[in-house]
């Protein structure tokens, strides 16, 4: 007989905007679990969590660890996951809260859930409203129209990636593009120029791209700056900036596949028109 260990973990997202983007299920875990362990930058969300949680542990100061010699962002994330896990191992029901969706470009939740399960604890994730969800709504872009590629900016830079210029490309974290040491939360003009040079293998420097920053509270204004790709290195980017690259080429039909599909339809006695 397996004995279920005491202590459990749920990872929830608080959404991008405090008002209205918290799901009812995330709210109920936040209010009812023994402890909320959170890494949320928005001051209003932070204050609200502190007010409603039975016990509250804020992880924001852990980012300071990156300044210590020999430590980088990965160590910070590991320490955050370890704090979540040690609360759970002490027998508590832990709700780990992150802004946006807790599992989108958010490795801490994935690490903590995998480790908790490997140790025999119950652990799961509840989805939240991510930056991508806000982007789709604010920019009026449907990822289904031309298809969508989504990747981290530095990963795009340092690995060979095949870009489909007939689809949308979303680059996350351009504000820390090229920062290989994982110690700073910023980029610079030279690194951004390298990003642009790589993108210029697939896109013209005149291609229009969008710098997107969703407003995270009622006092902020959403940033939707349409710029030339070639001008990117001189733009001010923040940690929250997302780079949106609309398609540069139109979709081309794959006639051989259309013919195969029509041949099958004809064999079945159906009449089919190519889309
Ligand atoms: C570590 S990821 C966290 C993503 C978050 N978990 C989510 O669900 O959206 C940080 C990146 O998300 C994007 N991001 C975060 N906040 C944003 C905002 N307010 N507007 C646009 N993009 C944002 C940016 O690309 C940023 O570099």
Domain span holding position 168: 132-245
pLDDT tens string 56-92: 999 999 988 888 888 888 999 999 999 999 999 999 9
Residue 26 pLDDT > 70: yes
Name which residue sits closest to atom 19 of ligand 1, judged by CA: 214
Give the count of domains, the chain: 2
Residue 2 pLDDT > 70: no
- Say what the pLDDT of residue 82 is: 97
Return the higher-pLDDT residue of 25 and 272. Answer: 25
- Say what the pLDDT of residue 63 is: 87
Whether 210 lines ligand 1, by a CB cut-off of 6 Å, is no
Whether residue 267 lies inside any domain: the answer is no
117 and 144, same structural domain?
no
Please choose from 130, 175, 242 the residue to mutate so as to test ligand 1's pocket, defined by most ligand atoms within 8 A of CB. Answer: 242
Dist. CA 115 → ligand 1 center (Å): 25
Whether residue 211 lies inside any domain: the answer is yes
Average pLDDT over residues 32-61: 94
Whether residue 263 lies inside any domain: the answer is no
23 and 125, same structural domain?
yes
Please choose from 26, 98, 104, 105 the residue to mutate so as to test ligand 1's pocket, defined by most ligand atoms within 8 A of CB. Answer: 105
Sign of CA dihedral 151, 157, 162, 164: positive
Average of per-residue pLDDT values in the chain:
94
Whether 239 lines ligand 1, by a CB cut-off of 6 Å, is yes
Name which residue sits closest to atom 3 of ligand 1, judged by CA: 105
Whether 17 lines ligand 1, by a CB cut-off of 6 Å, is no
105 and 163, same structural domain?
no
Residue 18 pLDDT > 90: no
- Say what the pLDDT of residue 270 is: 81
pLDDT tens string 120-143: 999 999 999 999 999 999 999 999
Whether 77 lines ligand 1, by a CB cut-off of 6 Å, is no
143 and 73, same structural domain?
no
Active site residues: 73, 77, 99
Helix/strand/coil (H/E/C) assignment for every residue in the chain: CCCCCCCEEEEEECECCCCCCCCHHHHHHHHHCCEEEEECCCHHHHHHHHHHCCCEEECHHHHHHHHCCCCCHHHHHHHHHHHHHHHHHCCCEEEEEECECCCCCCHHHHHHHHHHHHCCCEEEECCCCCHHHHHHHHHCCCHHHHCEEEEEHHHHHHCCCCCCCCCEEEEECHHHCCCCCCCCCCCCHHHHHHHHHHHCCCCCCCCEEEEEECCCCCCCCCEEEEEEHHHHHHCCCCCCCEEEECCCCCCCCCHHHHHHHHHHHHHCCCCCCCC
Instruction: Kindly indicate the confidence band of residue 274, based on its pLDDT and cuts at 50, 70 and 90.
Output: low
Residue 215 pLDDT > 80: yes
Whether 242 lines ligand 1, by a CB cut-off of 6 Å, is yes
141 and 95, same structural domain?
no
Residue 1 pLDDT > 90: no
Average pLDDT over residues 168-177: 98
Dist. CA 189 → ligand 1 center (Å): 21
Q: By mean pLDDT, which of 123-132, 188-197, 217-226 is the weakest?
A: 217-226
Q: By mean pLDDT, which of 12-21, 123-132, 169-178 is the weakest?
A: 12-21
CATH of the domain at 95: 3.40.1010.10
Most confident listed range (37-51, 90-104, 180-194): 90-104
- Say what the pLDDT of residue 133 is: 98
Name which residue sits closest to atom 2 of ligand 1, judged by CA: 105
- The answer to pTM > 0.75 is yes
- Say what the pLDDT of residue 273 is: 63
Dist. CA 242 → ligand 1 center (Å): 7
Strand ranges across the sheet with 56-58: 56-58, 35-39, 93-98, 8-13, 122-125
CATH of the domain at 182: 3.30.950.10
181 and 88, same structural domain?
no
- Say what the pLDDT of residue 66 is: 84
- Say what the pLDDT of residue 130 is: 98
């Amino acid at each position: 007989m397996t004995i279920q260990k005491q202590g459990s973990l749920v990872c929830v997202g608080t959404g991008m905007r405090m008002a209205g983007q918290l799901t009812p299920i995330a709210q109920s875990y936040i209010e009812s679990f023994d402890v909320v362990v959170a890494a949320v930058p928005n001051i209003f969300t932070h204050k609200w969590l502190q007010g409603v949680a039975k016990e509250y542990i804020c992880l924001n100061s852990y980012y300071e660890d990156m300044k210590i010699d020999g430590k980088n962002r990965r160590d910070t994330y590991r320490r955050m996951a370890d704090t979540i896990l040690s609360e759970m191992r002490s027998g508590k029901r832990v709700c780990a809260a992150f802004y946006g969706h807790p599992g989108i470009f958010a490795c801490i939740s994935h690490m903590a859930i995998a480790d908790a399960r490997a140790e025999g604890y119950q652990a799961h994730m509840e989805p939240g409203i991510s930056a991508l969800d806000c982007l789709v709504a604010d920019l009026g872009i449907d990822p289904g129209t031309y298809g969508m590629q989504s990747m981290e900016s530095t990963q795009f830079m340092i690995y060979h990636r095949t870009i489909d210029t007939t689809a949308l490309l979303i680059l996350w974290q351009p504000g820390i593009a090229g920062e290989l040491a994982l110690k700073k939360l910023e980029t610079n003009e030279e690194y951004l120029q390298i990003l642009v040079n790589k993108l210029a293998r697939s896109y013209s420097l005149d291609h229009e791209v969008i710098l997107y920053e969703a407003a995270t509270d009622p006092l902020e204004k959403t940033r939707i700056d349409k710029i030339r790709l070639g001008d990117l290195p001189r733009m001010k980017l923040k940690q929250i900036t997302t780079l949106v690259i609309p398609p540069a080429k139109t979709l081309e039909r794959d006639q051989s596949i259309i013919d195969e599909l029509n041949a099958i339809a004809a064999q079945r006695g159906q009449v089919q028109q190519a889309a």
